[in-house]
Amino acid sequence: MDLDYTKHIPDAFAEGARVWIYQSSRRLTLSEALELEQDIKGFAKSWNTHGRANSSYINLFFGQFLVIMADETQGPVSGCSTDSSVRFVKEIEKKFGVQFFDRQLLAFVIKDDIQVLPMGQLEYAIQQGFITGDTLYFNNLVSTKKDWSEKWLLPVKDSWLAARLQVS
């Protein structure tokens, strides 16, 4: 599995560009991903702040992570605009029967595949050795292009989870 997502991050966006990452409860099928690509194009064309088009980049990564990035160097993204992006994601949830807002689902790279685990099962997974400090974790809490490029995929021991769990 090629995990080098950074090659797809647009260089033209400022390091401080805002990023929102929505993790799906399951990997989308190829046909769903292709259909979503059309939805993304339509939304990106119409996404604006008070009539000014938002400079945005929207893409699906690993078939499971919807990333929305807005470069605010031309002007900030308004609350109404943010609300419209949330409505867009909720429409996708309904359309494909997935969840993008369940923050209790954590994603890891295990045996060269992305595995989603409910937070309530995390301690057990660590005790059983399924997850270690070196297991790669998708830190969906990143909020800027810089953090996305540097801190989205990192070992559990380097994430916020390390403080809550005893990992080796």
All structural domains of the chain with their residue ranges: 15-96, 105-164
Q: Provide the pLDDT for residue 81.
A: 83
The token pair at 41 is 């194009």
Low-confidence ranges of the chain (pLDDT < 70): 166-168
CA gap 157, 13 in Å, rounded: 29
Which residues, including other chains, have CB under 8 Å from residue 112's CB and lie 6 or more apart?
A: 1
pTM: 0.93
pLDDT digits (tens, 9 = 90+) for 34-73: 999 999 999 988 888 777 777 889 999 999 999 999 987 8
Q: Provide the pLDDT for residue 49.
A: 75
